[in-house]
Structure 1
Amino acid sequence: MTSWMKGLPEDLQAKVKKVDKKISEKLSEIDEIVLHNQQRVLQIFRENRVAEEDLVGSTGYGYDDIGRDKLDKIFADYFKTEDAMVKPQLTSGTHAISTAFFGVLRPGDSLHYLTGMPYDTIQEVIGVAGDNPGTFKEYNIGFSYTPLLENGKVDYQTAEKNLKEDKSIKMVAIQRSRGYSSRDSFVVAEVAEMVKFVKKHAPNAVIFIDNCYGEFTEVDEPTFYGADLMAGSMYKNAGGGIAKTGAFLVGSKDLIEKCGSRLIVPGAGKYEGATYPFMRDFYEGFFLAPNVTGEAVKGSIFTAALLEEMGMEVSPKWDAQRTDLVQTVTFGKPEPMIAFCAAIQHNSPLNAFVDPVPSHMDGYEDEIIMASGSFTEGSTIELSSDGPLRAPYSLYIQGGLNYAHVKIAITKAVLEAFYKQLNRCNKK
C-alpha cells in the first residue's frame, strides 16, 4: 500500500486498486494523444521562431505588438484556420462566443443552434433567459434551435426542415460540450458530420463552434473539417493552467476581422489592445496545454471509474471516448450533491477550509453549487465541480492540473461523501 492511501477504509483501497488496473490501458491511449498534440505545438513554435521578445507584451494602444500577432498566427496554424484572435480583453469563453455572435449577425439575421438549447450563460446573451440589456432582442436578431433526439444526438430530419424554412438564418452554432445537460458531449467526428450537413442544407450560413473544454482532447479539432469560426477560453484547456484570463477566436480572415471590430473598434480591430503582462502566460500555457489537458482527461477517467464502483450514475462512462474535460455524476437529490461538492473543495490546494454554499451566480437562472480551490478564479482546467440545484441534481466535475491531484482529491471526496456519511447515518 502506498502512503497516500494510508488510513483509508480497506474497501475503498480495494476499489482504487481495481480502478487503477481497469483504466491503465485507457490512460495509455491518452498519453498517445498528448504526444501527438505536443509534437504539433512544438513544431509550430519552432516554425514561428518564438523568442524572448515575443513574451514581453505591450502597453497603451498595443500597436505593433509582435508577440500578440505571432501568437495569433500560432493559434491559426494549430487549428488550421486563416486567422485567429487571442486576447486578454476577451474575459471568458462566453465573451468570445458573444463577440462572435454580435460580430457576424446584423438586425434581421438569425442564429440557429443545431445542438439544442445552449447552456445558461448563452441563453442570457440571446435573451431567452434573464432580463438583461444588450441581448439579441434589442438588436432584432432572431434565435431558434433544433431540439436533440432522446438519445442526445442531432435530429437531422427536423434540422433540415428548420434550415430550409428560415431564410433569415445567417449563423448555425454547434455546442461541442454538454454544458449543464445530461447528453454526451459531441466527439469531433460527430461535429464534422454536423459541419458537412450544414454546408449542404444552409451553404451560406456561418458555421460557429463553441469549443470550450474541447481543445487537445482529441488529435483533430472541429476547424479541421470546415467550421468557419470557433471560440474557446484561455483559462480552460488552451491556457494550460497558466493563463490568468483571456479567450480566443479562430476562423476565416473576414470573420475574425468582424469580431475584432466588434471587440475593440472598427478600423483598429484585432490589431489594438495591450497585452502586458499576459503574453508569457499565454505562450507558456499554450505550450503546456496538450499535457495538462491530458492529465485532466486521465483524472476524468479515474473519476468515472471510481464513482461507478460506488454505484453512481456517471456520464460519460470510464471507457467512453473522451472529447472534453467534463465528467457528470447524478445524485437525484440535492443533499448528497452538495456534500460531494464540498468534499472536493476540502481537497483543493486553495480554500480547502471553505464550505461551498448554493447561491445565485450571474448568467444562471438556478442557484449553483461550486467547488473551486483554483489558482485562477473560475479556471476549469484546474479541478473544480459545479452544477445547478435542479433535477436531476447532476454535478459536473472537470479539470485537474495533474492526474495525481485528481486521484487524491476524488478518492478523499468519495471517503467524505460516502464512507463517513454512511457512518454518521448508522450512528443516528
Structure 2
Amino acid sequence: MARFAEEITALSIAAEERISSRHREIDELVDFNQWKVIDAFQRHKVSDYHFAASTGYAYNDRGREVLDEVYADVFGAEAALVRPHFASGTHTISTALFGVLRPGDELLSITGRPYDTLHKVIGKEQDGTGSLRDFGITYSEVALTEEGEVDWPAVAAAIQPNTKVIAIQRSRGYSWRSSFTISHLKDMVEQLRRIREDLIIFVDNCYGEFTERLEPTEVGADLIAGSLIKNPGGGIAETGGYICGRKKLVDQAAYRLTAPGIGRDVGAMLGTTRAIYQGLFLAPHTVGQALKGSIFAAAVFQAIGFQTRPAWNEPRTDLIQAVQFSGPEHLIAFVQGIQQAAAVDSHVVPEPWDMPGYEHPVIMAAGTFIQGGSLELSADAPIREPYIGYMQGGLTYSHVKYGVLSALQTLKDRNLL
C-alpha cells in the first residue's frame, strides 16, 4: 500500500472535493460518446466473425472493411482508413500529407510550429531523406498571436496560389498554448472557407478523440489523423493509426500507405482486428478516466502554486496536462515520480536522452503495457526553458491519482516543494 505524507493526502482530499462537479461533467461526456460508438457498431451490424484474422493480401476482409465504416460513422466522415500498419501517429500524419500533396504544392501550418517529430517529415530542400521538401513540396507556417490565437491577417497573407493543405495541430504539443477546442476548429474552418474554398483542411487529432462531443470532421475538417495507441485504441489496440475524412482524400492516403491502384483493398490484419474494435468500444470510458485524472492533477498542482494549463476548471479538448516548473530538477523529479507509480517498469529511473525525432533531450515516464501508449499514464518533457512537464493518459482515474501523488512525494523527498 502506497504511503504519502499527511499534507499530500490532505491536498488530495481537498482537490477531489473541489473538482467533483467537473468529474460529473466528464461522466455525461462519456455517456454521450459511449452511446455514439455503440450506435455505430449496431448500424454496421458488427459481429464476432468480423474479428477473424486475415493473411496474405486479405482481399474481401469484411472485418477490416466494416471497421473503416464504423470509424467513418463515429467521426462523421465520408470514409476512414484504420490499420495496424501505421507505426505511429507521426507515420499516420505523414501518410495523410504525402497522400494529398504533390510536387509544387504548399503545406501551410496556421497553428505555428508543429510537434517536434513532424519537423523531419517536413524536412529541408534536397535533404535526401524523402521528406516533403525533398519531393518539392514547400512548407510555410504562421505563428500564433501572443494570446495563442490564429493570426488571421497573417494567414490570409501567407496563403499562396500553390497553397493546397492547411495544417492545424489540435493539441498543444510541446508548447504552453491552449489546445484548440472543437468550437475553435469550427471557427477556423469557416474563416478558411471564406479565404479560399478549395483548401484542404487537415487536423492532427492526436490526443483529442472523445474529449468533446464532436470531432473535427463533424465541423468541416477535410481530413484528420491519429494514433490507435492514443485515445481511440482504448488502451487495447497494440499498434496502428486512423485517417478519416472526405473519401477522395482518404483514398489518396490509402494509395500512399500501400500502392496506387491497391489502396484500401488489401492489408492483412494479422489478428489485430478484435482489439481495434474493442479498443474503440472502450475508448470513451478510458478517455474519461484520463480526463478526470488530468483535472485532478491540475487542481493539486495549482493548489501548491504551480502554473497549469489548462486549469482544473477550464474546458478540455485533449488529454494533455501541462505543468510549468521553476527548473530542470523539478521537471525531472516530476517525471521520475510518475514513473515510480507505474505497474510496469516502476523500478526504471528515466533520464533525459537524445530521442530520435526530437530537437532537445527528452525525459519520458512510460511504464506502459503498450510501448509508447500515451492513453496509459505517461509524462514527458523536453529539457528546455520554461521547463514544462506534459502528463497524459491513465487507463483508470485511480492510477492517475496515484501517479500525481507519487510525483508530489518525489518532489517533497528532494526538498523541491
TM over 0.5, shorter chain: yes
C-alpha displacement at 1:268, in angstroms? 1.1
1:226 is the counterpart of 2:191:
no
Q: Secondary structure at the match of 1:152?
A: coil
CA distance in 2, matches of 1:290, 1:137: 38
Q: Map residues 33-72 of structure 1 onto 2, 5 A cutoff.
A: 33-72=29-68
CA distance in 1, matches of 2:151, 2:61: 45
Residue 181 in structure 1 maps to residue 175 in structure 2: yes
Inter-partner Cα distance in structure 2 for 1:373 and 1:325: 17
Match of 1:325 in 2: 319
SS of the residue corresponding to residue 189 of structure 1 reads helix
Q: What's 2:136 paired with? A: 140
In 1, Cα distance between equivalents of 2:364 and 2:11: 27
| Cα separation, 2, equivalents of 1:33 and 1:26 | 11
From 61, 70, 75, give the equivalent of 2:71.
Answer: 75
**Which of 332, 342, 351 is the aligned partner of 1:338?**
332
Larger deviation: 27-36 or 310-319? Answer: 310-319
8 A contact 1:299–1:400 mirrored in 2: yes
Give, in whole Å, the separation in 1 of the partners of 2:53 and 2:180.
36
Match for residue 87 of structure 1? Answer: 83
CA, structure 1 residues 132+352, in 2 after alignment: closer, same or farther (shift >3 Å)? farther
Structure-to-structure mapping, 1:161-240, within 5 angstroms: 161-163=157-159, 166-240=160-234
Which runs of no fewer than 5 residues in structure 2 stay unpaired? none
Q: 2: distance between equivalents of 1:9 and 1:130?
A: 57
CA separation of 1:214 and 1:132: change in aligned 2, threshold 3 A: farther
The answer as to whether partners of 1:129 and 1:365 remain within 8 angstroms in 2 is no
Partner of 2:399: 405
**Preserved contact between residue 380 and residue 390 of structure 2 (Cα < 8 Å):** yes
- Whether contact under 8 Å (2:110, 2:166) holds in the other structure is yes
Q: Cα distance, 1:128 vs. partner? A: 5.3
2:273 pairs with 1:279: yes
2:289 to 283, 290, 295: 295
Contact 1:110 1:142 in 2 (8 A): yes
Q: What is the aligned-residue RMSD (CA, Å)? A: 1.5
- Partner letter of residue 77 of structure 1? D
Give the equivalent residue in structure 2 for 1:415: 409
Amino acid at match of 2:178: D
Q: Secondary structure at the match of 2:376?
A: coil
Residues 192-248 of structure 1: CA deviation (Å, up to 9, x unaligned): 100111111121111101000000000011111111110011010000000000000
Q: Does 1:117 align with 2:113?
A: yes
Tell me, in whole angstroms, the C-alpha distance in 1 between the residues paired with 2:275 and 2:124. 36
CA distance, structure 2, for counterparts of residue 368 and residue 128 of structure 1: 23
In the alignment, does 2:95 pair up with 1:99? yes
8 A contact 1:350–1:375 mirrored in 2: yes
One-letter identity of the residue aligned with 1:121 = T
Q: Write out per-residue CA displacement over residues 135-180 of structure 1, whole angstroms, 9 at most, x where no aligned residue.
A: 12211100011110001111112112222xx111010011100000
Q: CA deviation at 1:332?
A: 3.0
Say whether the 8 Å CA contact 1:332–1:391 is kept in structure 2: no
Between 104-113 and 122-131, the greater mean CA deviation after superposition: 122-131
- Alignment-derived partner of residue 350 in structure 1: 344
SS at match of 1:422: coil
Could you tell me which residue of structure 2 aligns to residue 361 of structure 1?
355
Q: Distance in 2 between matches of 1:160 and 1:132?
A: 32
SS of residue paired to 2:364: strand
The separation in 2 between residues aligned to 1:227 and 1:247, in whole angstroms, is: 18
User: What residue in structure 2 maps to residue 127 of structure 1?
Assistant: 123
Q: Give how far 1:117 is off.
A: 1.1
Is the Cα contact below 8 Å between 2:4 and 2:405 reproduced in 1? no
Output the amino acid matched with 2:415. Answer: L
Q: Which amino acid aligns with 1:294?
A: G
Pick from 295, 302, 309: which aligns with 2:303? 309
The code of the aligned residue for 1:185 comes to S
Q: CA deviation at 1:88?
A: 0.7
Report how far residue 271 of structure 1 moved: 1.4
1:32 aligns with one of 28, 46, 62 = 28
**In structure 2, how many angstroms separate the alpha carbons of the residues matched to 1:21 and 1:130?**
57
Aligned residue in 2 for 1:155: 151
Q: 1:129 to 1:348 in 2, by over 3 A?
A: farther
* Matches of 2:9 and 2:168, distance apart in 1: 42
CA-to-aligned-CA distance 1:249-281 (integer Å, 9 cap, x gap): 001111111111111011110111110111011
Residue 14 of structure 2 aligns to a residue whose secondary structure is helix
Give the deviation of 1:8 after TM superposition.
2.6
The residue type equivalent to 1:365 in the other structure is: E
Q: Structure 1 residue 10: deviation in Å?
A: 2.2
Counterpart-to-counterpart distance in 2, 1:205 and 1:43: 32
CA contact (8 A) 1:114 1:146 kept: yes
Tell me the residue number matched to 1:387: 381
Percentage identity across paired residues of the two chains? 44
Q: Name the TM-score, length of structure 2 as normaliser.
A: 0.98
* C-alpha distance in 1 between matches for 2:329 and 2:387: 9
Give 2:84's aligned amino acid.
P
Aligned to 1:11: 7
> Contact 2:126–2:134 at 8 Å: present in 1 too?
no
Q: 2:133·2:139 contact (CA, 8 Å) conserved in 1? A: no
Question: Gaps (5+ residues) in structure 1?
Answer: none
How far, CA to CA, are the matches of 1:405 and 1:179 in structure 2?
23
Q: Give the Cα–Cα distance (whole angstroms) in 1 for the partners of residues 230 and 11 of structure 2.
A: 30
CA offset digits 1:88-136 (Å, max 9, x no partner): 1111111111011110110100000111111111111001599660112
